[in-house]
Structure 1
């Protein structure tokens, strides 16, 4: 049995992906077989070589270039911006995994700003039943009033059931059977929903009622309002407060322990040392900028809540 694991990255994220991959490889069981794919559009040959170096007899590192025709429906326009700030196509790649890799009935997707602390096979063994995917409730937004209002009033969803898309166990067969990509594309092009979390909002809406909620340890996100999980399976440095920019981030030591084992450690450490207070303040303000969409979208007559009154958007 092969355990397929997918990352989606742009070339400038290679050093962070390398740290995540190092942590995955360290905890992989030698009795299992793993294939790790990096979905991308711009990885350099040098960075492919850097990532491929983590491979072994039972861990196969592969690269898949996303054809622009596959994602041509996703345009560079404000409602598709990542965190309301800028456009990056890579955040949408995860939605296409089941169709692009029909050989897999099940797969894992993880963001590159993660650290894996146990065998990823344990997560892969999750029984999904008829659910479309497994994910964790988004704990990073539970103490953010504007985000809670956005989820309730704009998305018309329960904030306690709103998932984070940084760690997914995909029921690939169900995605294909239900024609997820066709439905996603239809909604995207018909309504142009103005989203705070883009791909994440679509997953929450389209798959509502068919989401398996994972143990929170599989997507432990730094949060100053909560105690750290004692034994996190996967740490996800979500949003803007990254350990390579902020020294006091919850779970930061896990990142640096793994970073020290990669060729990128000196570069990453220099990045932290040279990051200015002004840049950190800009990062803090990015959260407010992201949340400013709530004021606009709550009045939008074509927001998710209003469209859902006309009929279901779920599969």
Structure 2
């Protein structure tokens, strides 16, 4: 399937009246640590001559976590950090959401126009992201008249690679005329002025209220349904969810002519501008299941995330505790994989060899050595 060309985002010098870059996160207190790393990477890549207003929407964040987050931004004079507790009237709007998996904060991005009336445009970022580029570049995206910009979701790439529709996209086919255009809602550029003029918050809420049972990915599904055909695609490097060990020629060929065409080169060259650590394998969590530590997403996420986390003065107690817990687990897994390597052949040998190599890199970071 041929996709429309994704937009390019050339660096645009900001005129004086556009020198402030508003960015929104929403997170519970339990996400304070990954949020601090996301903010840290945003600050590191913030350009000079602009001011970055970072707003954290929360549900009653502990004062100590707020203090630690402020420590992250303190060395950067061009960055301000502010905290907004989700108003009770907004919380009540989302009571039919999937309470077991998602808090009302998951829907806060849909209400950004009301939460931040002072802005005409805002960037929304999930807390499980790492910035490798200046978020101002994202903010000045050409939305081509659309109220929102978002990158394609990994489920669409999976469907193209496999030659069959992912089950969730089959489900979304009841609502979307083109399920392969399904977008990821973890990184958004929102034209708040246009959303207010078109009363899009009302349309988004209607989708939420129209179902007695919640959508599997509630805010993301609602956004895709309500704005289907009205979302400008972001380049994949601004919401990169597509890490892989290798990209063979057959896989690369399947992506030709699609919005994911550049994904293999971005992945191999680590050339993303924002890495989004989607899925359950989060590098700041001790694995609940022993096999998790061998999952390639967990390994690669850990390599990139811990390099940044180790630079932080904030949350030092939590980071040291997690690091001490992970190191022996990784060592045991490396020894196990090295033993199995002797009995492996072909692609299984190569996969185990790559896993061992990356696990050693992660371990070196945890031990304070250069990977």
Shorter-chain TM-score category?
A: 0.7 to 0.9
* Residue range with higher mean Cα deviation, 21-30 or 49-58: 49-58
- Structure 2 equivalent of residue 257 of structure 1: 307
Residue 74 of structure 1 pairs with residue 94 of structure 2? yes
1:39-188 pair list within 5 angstroms: 39-53=57-71, 54-55=73-74, 56-75=76-95, 77=96, 80-81=97-98, 85-140=100-155, 142-143=157-158, 145-152=166-173, 154-188=174-208
Residue 196 of structure 1: how far off its partner (Å): 1.2
Residue 141 of structure 1: how far off its partner (Å): 5.1
Question: Residue 111 and residue 229 in structure 1: after superposition, are their counterparts in 2 closer, same or farther (change >3 A)?
Answer: farther
Question: Residue 32 and residue 223 in structure 1: after superposition, are their counterparts in 2 closer, same or farther (change >3 A)?
Answer: same
RMSD: 2.3
**Highest Rg: 1 or 2?**
2
Q: Distance in 1 between matches of 2:309 and 2:39?
A: 10
Bigger share in helix: 2
1:222–1:251 contact (8 Å) kept in structure 2: no
* TM-score, normalising length: structure 2: 0.68
SS of aligned partner of 1:243: coil
Residue 126 of structure 1: how far off its partner (Å): 0.3
* TM-score, normalising length: structure 1: 0.79
Structure 2: unaligned runs, 5 residues or longer: 1-18, 160-165, 248-263, 286-291, 331-371
Q: Distance in 1 between matches of 2:66 and 2:60?
A: 10
Number of paired residues? Answer: 270
Residue 127 of structure 1: how far off its partner (Å): 1.3
Q: Distance in 1 between matches of 2:324 and 2:124?
A: 29
Per-residue CA deviations over 1:246-300 (Å, capped at 9, x if unaligned) read: 5542343221111101233314424645889xxxxxxxxxxxxxxxxxxxxxxxx
Q: Which has the higher contact order (CA 8 A, sep 6+)?
A: 1
Residue 193 of structure 1: how far off its partner (Å): 5.3
268, 279, 292: which one aligns with 1:239? 279
Q: Distance in 2 between matches of 1:17 and 1:267?
A: 18
Structure 1: unaligned runs, 5 residues or longer: 277-315
